[in-house]
Amino acid sequence: MAFWDLTSVPLEWFRPGIFNKMEIGNNLIMVCMEIGPGREDAGHVHPFDQSGVVLEGRIEMFVGGDRRLLHPNQSYFIPAGERHGWRTLNEEVRLLDVSPKHRPK
């Protein structure tokens, strides 16, 4: 599908506490994701760039040594190889996230 209404795109169960809608193209993966309150990814690294924007709610993210509390209409960019993670607070957060489909080997 070429177009989404980000306020009403239907999301499906992805894993506990996370629902998403994923569109996979030839080179990019675009994901609308809703993460429940009190969830956390303590940090990980991958060999590809990743970027996104907060649509609703708030999320605390870190990229390398920089930690921020992001609000709606704020974005993030995670360079390849940079340790990063996130934590939701007492509310759901909705993100739009984009990364490459073909991962470097």
Q: Domain ranges in the chain?
A: 23-100
> What is the per-residue pLDDT across 9-18, written as a single tens digit (0 to 9) for each?
999 999 999 9
Whole-prediction pTM value? 0.91
Task: Determine the pLDDT at residue 29.
Answer: 95
What is the spatial distance between Cα 30 and Cα 100, in angstroms, rounded to a whole number?
A: 9
Tokens linked to 2:
């070429």
Task: Determine the pLDDT at residue 105.
Answer: 58
More confident residue, 85 or 102: 85
> What DSSP string describes 32-66?
EEEE-TT-EEEEE--SS-EEEEEEES-EEEEETTE
Q: What's the whole-number average pLDDT of the chain?
A: 94
Average pLDDT, stretch 46-68? Answer: 97
Sheet with 66-70, side-by-side order of all strands: 40-44, 84-88, 59-63, 66-70
Task: Determine the pLDDT at residue 104.
Answer: 55
Average pLDDT, stretch 66-79? Answer: 98
State the CATH class of domain 23-100.
mainly beta
